[in-house]
Chain A
Amino acid sequence: MTPIDYQALEFAYQKHPDQSCPTPASHRVVVVGAGPVGLTTALDLAQRGVRVVVLDDDYRLSTGSRAICFAKRTLEVWDRLGVGQRMVDKGVSWNVGKVFFRDQEVWRFDLLPEPGHRRPAFINLQQYYVEGFLHEAACAHPLIDLRWKSKVAGVAQRPDGVDLTVETPDGAYGLRAEWLVACDGARSPIRKLLGQESHGRVFKDRFLIADVRMSANFPAERWFWFDPPFHPNQSVLLHMQPDNVWRIDFQLGWNADPIEAVKPANVLPRIRALLGADAQFELEWVSVYTFACERMDGFRHGRIVFAGDAAHRVSPFGARGANSGVQDAENLAWKLQAVLDGAAPDTLIDSYAAEREQAADENLLNSTRSTDFITPKSAVSRSFRNAVLNLARDHPFARGLVNSGRLSLPTTYADSPLNTPDADAFAGRLAPGAAALDAPVRDAAGRDAWWLSYLDGRFVLALFCGGRAPDGATLAALRQLARGATPLRVVLVGDGSAPLDASPDIDVVHDHQGSLARRYDAPPGTCYLLRPDQHVAARRRAFDAATMAGALARALGRA
């Protein structure tokens, strides 16, 4: 089978019956933007049974590699949506990073992944593959209605929804949506239609970004140069991608002419200087970008919710753009479902804004710090940066200060109103608001499985049982919770020493290595309530039905 060239795909515009309606057709959710964030939002909603219309003003997927680093948490979200394995199969992983200063290697690090997680810290994968795989999954889903060449030209808020005007090659038509999710990118036309702006810092710098196809013998490592002889006073990043495509980012400085910089006559010498005069390569894509670290003041405006770059923009260092956008999507999808189903008040969407604004601030902080290290803005800043790099060769403490991008990790929503605060002492990283950690487990039949696969988009109540099944009263109380109005999965976690009986409303998993109990600091009796987006809502040392029912109500914004 010939591999699909996702960059070359063009999607035909098709006239939709909605365009001939005398009055605007009504939809539950309209997502604007068929990028990684919009498609993830649509898939998550569709898998929850919510019908979604996706509008995109273009008719193609991403051109060029663009976002290339997809973090573990993002892969876990896509696992839940059934597309994670495809991404991982196609992507490439790396563990070794090297940092060069001028003509010397000053530091190399090995990420040495902790065993017992299904997914690596991240993979490199061109954005067009990510969008291609998400698009194929979206097309295969009967509840997703994807409309290309459909540009939102007008929005009007109503108390219970949004009126949209959509422009197409056949003219404009009206649509109504109970909720509009704007995933329409950094220049977000929806944001502009609302008269909203992002605020923050724009960095006066330009980067040349090139995808180069070559069969050279570069190892699968991340190489970062500060002030290299082949590109003095600037930084350069080399990253491996699938299909023998390498991604090279050259810092150009603010005075570079973006039109001139992308001309092959100017690009090729730079690449030859890096790869060597004899290197055989083919230039696939080249572009110049500038970046900003900024966000909207609020991510929710009535029935319009912003996600991804439309809501927040970060510098590319640390891979926090697309990754944080996918986490916006997972945070929003279950909440929209709960509100649409009447299981939660409309104010639950405010918690999306609060939690993801906090996440954006964390990402902005990290990405601004990386940017200030990589592109010093003053002579003294450059002196400190160079001093760090000089010291890093022989002084371990200085290596911790080298900042060529901090790995994107999920935000812990520590102050979220959806959390039920701890009443007992716990060790470890799984405080209320934290994203669940994975661990190898065995299913009820003794087959190897991953813990996160049990967190399937419903609320999950996990009760650690050790080697003994809970008593009848506890089982009855668990069953009652499982049969409540809110979809909730009860999972008994055994230690593998004795069988536990699964029953119609109660699943069983065996933590045969004890990894799960260790990561969750969960001796027998401990119970966790996990949200549909796999974040911790509550935990206790002993199961109490009223406490967990209260925590569930609180996590749905009903308390």
Chain B
Amino acid sequence: MPLTIDPNLPAPDAFYEALIDAHRDLTDAQSAELNAALILLLANHIGDMDVIGDALARARRSVLPGGDAA
């Protein structure tokens, strides 16, 4: 199954709020470790290296100058 890039979250605003809330009162270092833990948990859940590889490539392109996530 390819990486889903169409909307898939039933309540996007609630997800986003939960994501930000999870970082409340954390130091930058703790936040960085939380993000890392989240990525690890989700990556293991996905378990498909092709999907993960596609996500990694898109995420990297999104932060590079001239990056194109399409």
- The stretch from A144-152, A268-276, A380-388, A498-506 touching chain B is A380-388
B32 CB–A CB distance under 8 Å: yes
A397 to B37, CA, bound (A): 12
Question: How far is B37's CA from A380's CA once the two chains are assembled, in angstroms?
Answer: 12
**B residues in contact with A384, CB < 8 Å:** 36, 39-40
Could you say which residues of chain B place their CB within 8 Å of the CB of A398? 40, 44
Chain A residue total in the interface (Cβ 8 A): 13
How far is B37's CA from A30's CA once the two chains are assembled, in angstroms?
A: 54
Cβ of A379 within 8 Å of any chain B Cβ, yes or no, is yes
Task: With both chains docked as a complex, state the minimum distance between the C-beta of B43 and any C-beta of chain A, in angstroms.
Answer: 9
Report if B35 contacts A (CB, 8 A).
Answer: yes
Does A395 belong to the interface (CB within 8 Å)?
yes
Residues B37 and A387 in contact, CB atoms below 8 Å apart: yes
**Is A379 a contact of B32 with CB atoms below 8 Å?**
yes
> Chain B at the A interface: mostly helix, strand, loop or mixed?
helix
Cβ < 8 Å to A, chain B residues 23-39 = 29, 32-37, 39
Residues of chain A lying within 8 A (CB to CB) of residue B57: none
| B59 in the interface (beta carbon within 8 A) | no
Which one of A383, A395, A397 lies within 8 Å of B36 (CB-CB)?
A383
Give the docked Cα–Cα distance between A388 and B44 (Å).
Answer: 12
**Contact residues in B for A391 (Cβ distance below 8 Å):** 37, 40-41
- Cβ < 8 Å to A, chain B residues 11-70: 29, 32-37, 39-41, 44
User: Would you call the interface of chain A mostly helix, strand, loop, or mixed?
Assistant: helix
Task: Chain A residues near B32: list those with CB within 8 A.
Answer: 379-380, 383
Once the chains bind, are B40 and A383 in contact (CB under 8 Å)?
A: no
Which of A386, A395, A397 contacts B33 (CB under 8 A)? A386
Q: Which of A386-404 contact B (CB under 8 A)?
A: 386-388, 390-391, 395, 397-398, 401
Chain B residues near A388: list those with CB within 8 A.
36, 40
Q: Which residues of A contact B39 (CB under 8 A)?
A: 384, 387
Asked whether, in the complex, the Cβ of B44 is within 8 Å of the Cβ of A397, the reply is yes
With a 10 A CB-CB cut-off, give which of B29, B34, B39, B40 has the most chain A CB atoms.
B40
Q: Which of B33, B34, B35 has the most CB of A within 10 A?
A: B33
Q: Which residue in chain B gives the minimum CB-CB distance to A386?
A: B33
A-B pairs with beta carbons under 8 Å apart, 8 shown: A380-B32, A383-B29, A386-B33, A387-B34, A387-B36, A387-B40, A390-B33, A397-B44
A residues sitting closer than 8 Å to B (CB atoms) are 379-380, 383-384, 386-388, 390-391, 395, 397-398, 401
Q: A-B pairs with the 6 shortest C-beta distances? A: A387-B36, A387-B37, A383-B32, A397-B44, A384-B36, A383-B36
Given contacts A387-B33, A387-B37, A387-B39, 14 further A-B contacts (CB under 8 A): A379-B32, A380-B32, A383-B32, A383-B33, A383-B35, A383-B36, A384-B40, A386-B33, A386-B36, A387-B36, A388-B36, A390-B33, A397-B44, A401-B40
